[in-house]
Amino acid sequence: MTSDKNIGRPVPRKEGRAKVTGAAAYVDDLRLPDMLYGVTVRSPAPRGRITGVTFGEGIPWDEFTVVAARDIPGANYVALILNDQPYLAETFVNHAEEPVLLLAHPDKYLLEEARRAVRIEVEPVPGVFRLEDSLARTEVVWGEDNVFKTFLVEKGNVDGVWDSAGVVVVEGEYTTGAQEQLYIETNGVIAEASAATGVVVRGSMQCPYYVHKALVKLFDLPEDKIRVIQTETGGGFGGKEEYPSLLAGHAALLAWKSGRPVKMVYDRAEDMLATTKRHPSRTRHRTAVTRDGRLVAMDIDFVVDGGAYATLSSVVLSRGTIHAAGPYHCPNVRIRSRAVATNVPPHGAFRGFGAPQSIFALERQLDRVAAAVGLEPDELRRRNFIKKGETTATGQVIREDVDLGALLDRAFELTDYHAKRERFARENAGARTKRGIGFASFMHGAGFTGSGEKYLQSIVGCEATAEGRIKVLAASTEIGQGTKTVFAQIASDALGIDYETVEVVQPDTADVPNSGPTVASRTCMIVGKLVESAALQIRETLKGAGLLGDAYTTEEFARACAAYVERHGALKTFTQYTQPEGVEWDDERYRGDAYGAYAWAVYVAEVSVDTLTYEARVEDFVAVQEVGRVIHPVLAAGQIEGGVAQGIGWALYENVVWRDGRMANGQMTNYIMPTSADLPPIRVHFFENPYEGGPGGAKGIGELPMDGPAPAILNAVEHATGLRLDHVPLTPEALMDALEPEAVGA
C-alpha cells in the first residue's frame, strides 16, 4: 500500500475544476426538448377559506397547463413527518405564500403575465403571527392547541433545589429571530412524468431520497417508477433539505398533466418569501448556582415558532432541546420544549438545527449567572465544564477525553482576552466607540439524534472497475461543503491507492443506495465511516481471491481489479450502518446517548460599538474547536469561516420583518446580510482528538460553527456597553432603543 496518506492533506477538490471553469451544470443550465416553464400561484391572505379563482382577460389560457388540487393523482401532502402540508391548497389556506395553483407554458415571460392575471379569492379568517400569541391560543390554527411537538428532558430533582441554603437563583429570557439561508443558487427542478414511464426529477437539493419518498406518495406509484437526480447544487444550509420535495412535486404535477418536461426555478424574491427559514425562538432560564459558582440546577423552557405546517420542526426542536444545557455538568436539569404553529410560511432546517437558538440563550444566561455570584464569565465556565465520565442533561456518559479548559486557554491566548478585557474597561469611559470582548463555549452532536441513525440504516457502496478505479456510491450530496473530496480521501486511504483514482458518483436514486440525508453533521462521520468500510471490503475481497497482498501500489491494485472483474464479474460492496455497542437511547423517556460523538469549541469575539450611529461591528474573531481528526484542513477551515460569517449575520444584520404573516423585506436590498467588508479576520484553530467511530478519526463539523458566534458577540457587546441585550439580531435600531435612555441622560 502507498505510504502517502490523503486524510489530513489539502488535496484538490473533486468538483473544483468544473466549477471554476464554468463546466458544472446547475439546474437552470439544463434544457430538455419540448420543455415548459412552470410557476406557482399563491394565496394573497395568511389564513382563510378559498371562495373562488378568477382567470383574467387577455391571456390565451387554452395554451396553458393549469394544475389544481383536484388534479393530484395520489396523496395531497408532502410526505415527511406529520404529513400535514398540502402540495396545493384546496379549500383553506394557512399562510400568505401557500401554493394554490400551478401554471406551465413554453414562454416564461407570458407565464409571468398569466400568474399576475390569476386572482385567488380568500375569505379571511383570524390568524396567529407571533410565537407568544400561539402559546396563548388567541386563535387555534393547528390541532387542538397549536403545538406540533413537545419534549421533556429531566435529570435529578430540579424542584428540590430552589430554596436550598447558599443557592443563588438567576432568571432570564432570550429570543432569536428568523434567518434566511441565502444560498447562492435558488431552488429549482426539472421534471418529466407520465403514467407509462413514471417520474424523473432533476434538481438542486440536499436529500434525494426525501424527494423520492414524497413523490411516491404524491403519484401513488411504485418506488421503482420514481427517479430523483441531484444536479450541481449551489448551497443549501438546510434550506434544500425538505423544501425541494414540495417544488419537485409541483414541477412533476405540471409535467404529468402536460406530458412535457417542466422546469421551475424560483427567482430570489420568491425564494425568500416562500421557502423555509430558521425557527424564531424564545428561551426562559432559571438557574441555581452556589456562591462559589457551582451549577446546581437548570430549569429551561425552550419554544420555537414552526410556522404554518410541521415540516421538520419536531427534529429541530429535539436538537435544540438536547443542546440547551450545553457542555456543563449540572446534577439537576429540566428542559421543557415546544414547537408551535403560526400563520407564516413553514420554518425548516437551517445550519445548527435548533442548537444555535438554545445555545445562544444558555451562553447569555451564564454570563448573567457569573455576574450574580461575582465571578468572571470564564471562571464560572471552568468550574462547571463537563469532563470524561460525567453525564449530560440526557444522562449520556461522556466517554471522550474532553478538555474544554485547554480550548479556552488557547482561545484566550490567541486573543489576549484578559488583557483586552481590562484595557477596554479602562478606555471605554467617555469614548464614543466602545470596545468589548466576549466568548461562548459549546458543543454540537454529530449525526441524527438518539435512535435516528439506527432507524435510517444508511447504506453505502463501492465499486471497483476493470481499470482499477473506485466509484463511491452514496446519496450524500455535494452542496459546496466538500462531500466528494472528503469521501475520495477516505476511500483512497482505506484502499491505499491514489486519490485521483476515486470517483464519487453523482447522487441518483436509480444508481446509489439510500445513505440518508445530507444534514446533521453526519456526512463525514456517519456516511464517511460507511465509505471507509465499503472500501475496506473491496480490499479484503481482492485479498481473499488471492489477487492482492498486504503491500501493493496503485498500479498493482488496478491489475488485481482487472483480474477479478474478468474472472468473477462486477466487484461491488455495500455496507449498512449498525449502532455501535454501548450506545443506548430511550425514545419514550428521551434519555441516554443522544449522539455518538460531540465536537467541542470555544469562540471569542471582539467588538466595537459606535454610540452615535448605534452600529456594532465584530473586529476580530477566533474559533477554536476539537472535531476529531481533520480530514481536509482547507475545507474544514472554510466550514468554520462560513459558519462564523452566517453566525455574525444572524447576530447583527439579518432581520426578517414580518407583516401579517408575510416577509416584508424579501429582497437582498433590504434583508441585510454581511459582506466581506462587514466581516472581521476569522482565525480558525483545531485541536485534534481522533474519534474511533469516525473515518480516520473524524467527527462532524458543518453545523458547529453556527452555534457560537451570536452569544460570543452579544457577551462582548455587554462588556462594551454594560447593557444586557438578549435578542438577536442586534440591529442598529435595536441597539439605539437600548442605548437611547443613556444618550438622553448624557
pLDDT in tens, 399-436: 999 999 999 999 999 999 999 999 999 999 999 999 99
Sequence-separated (6 or more) residues with CB below 8 Å from residue 144: none
Model pLDDT, residue 582: 85
Model pLDDT, residue 597: 96
Nearest 5°: the CA angle 271, 276, 280 is 130
Integer angstrom CA distances of residue 260 from 34, 109, 214, 230, 308: 6, 18, 21, 20, 32
Predicted confidence (pLDDT) per residue in 142-164, tens digit: 999 999 999 999 999 999 999 99
Share of the chain above pLDDT 70, in %: 99
CATH number of 31-125+186-274: 3.90.1170.50
In this prediction, residue 741 has a pLDDT band, given cuts at 50, 70 and 90, of low
Beta-bridged to residue 684, according to DSSP, are 623
Question: Cell for 610?
Answer: 459606535
Sequence-separated (6 or more) residues with CB below 8 Å from residue 529: 693, 694, 695
For domain 281-449+590-745, give its CATH number from 3.40.47.10, 3.60.21.10, 3.30.365.10, 3.40.50.1980: 3.30.365.10
When the pLDDT of each residue in the chain is averaged and rounded to a whole number, the result is 97
Q: Are 320 and 304 in contact (CB under 8 A)?
A: yes
Please determine, for residue 744, whether its predicted confidence score (pLDDT) is greater than 90.
no
Instruction: Please state the domain extents for the chain.
Output: 16-23+452-576, 31-125+186-274, 281-449+590-745
Closest C-alpha among 266, 261, 246, 273 to residue 88: 246
Distance CA 6, CA 471 (A): 17
Which pairing describes strands 295-307 and 332-341: parallel, antiparallel, or unpaired? parallel
Same fold yes or no, 16-23+452-576 and 281-449+590-745:
yes
What's the rounded mean pLDDT across residues 568-588? 94
Closest C-alpha among 424, 488, 340 to residue 12: 488
Q: Is the pTM of this model over 0.95?
A: yes
Question: Cell for 433?
Answer: 466607540
Please determine, for residue 370, whether its predicted confidence score (pLDDT) is greater than 80.
yes
In this prediction, residue 546 has a pLDDT band, given cuts at 50, 70 and 90, of very high
Please determine, for residue 4, whether its predicted confidence score (pLDDT) is greater than 80.
no
User: Residue 13 has what DSSP assignment?
Assistant: P
Compute how many other C-beta atoms are within 10 angstroms of the C-beta atom of residue 129.
Answer: 21
Question: Does domain 16-23+452-576 match CATH 3.40.50.12780?
Answer: no
Predicted confidence (pLDDT) per residue in 178-228, tens digit: 999 999 999 999 999 999 999 999 999 999 999 999 999 999 999 999 999
Query: Quick one: angle between helices 417-427 and 709-721, nearest 10?
Result: 40
Residue bearing cell 479484503: 540
Predicted confidence (pLDDT) per residue in 93-119, tens digit: 999 999 999 999 999 999 999 999 999
Model pLDDT, residue 740: 82
In this prediction, residue 2 has a pLDDT band, given cuts at 50, 70 and 90, of very low
Predicted confidence (pLDDT) per residue in 436-491, tens digit: 999 999 999 999 999 999 999 999 999 999 999 999 999 999 999 999 999 999 99
Model pLDDT, residue 1: 47
Model pLDDT, residue 581: 86
Model pLDDT, residue 167: 97
In this prediction, residue 3 has a pLDDT band, given cuts at 50, 70 and 90, of very low
Beta-bridged to residue 604, according to DSSP, are 439, 622
Model pLDDT, residue 287: 98
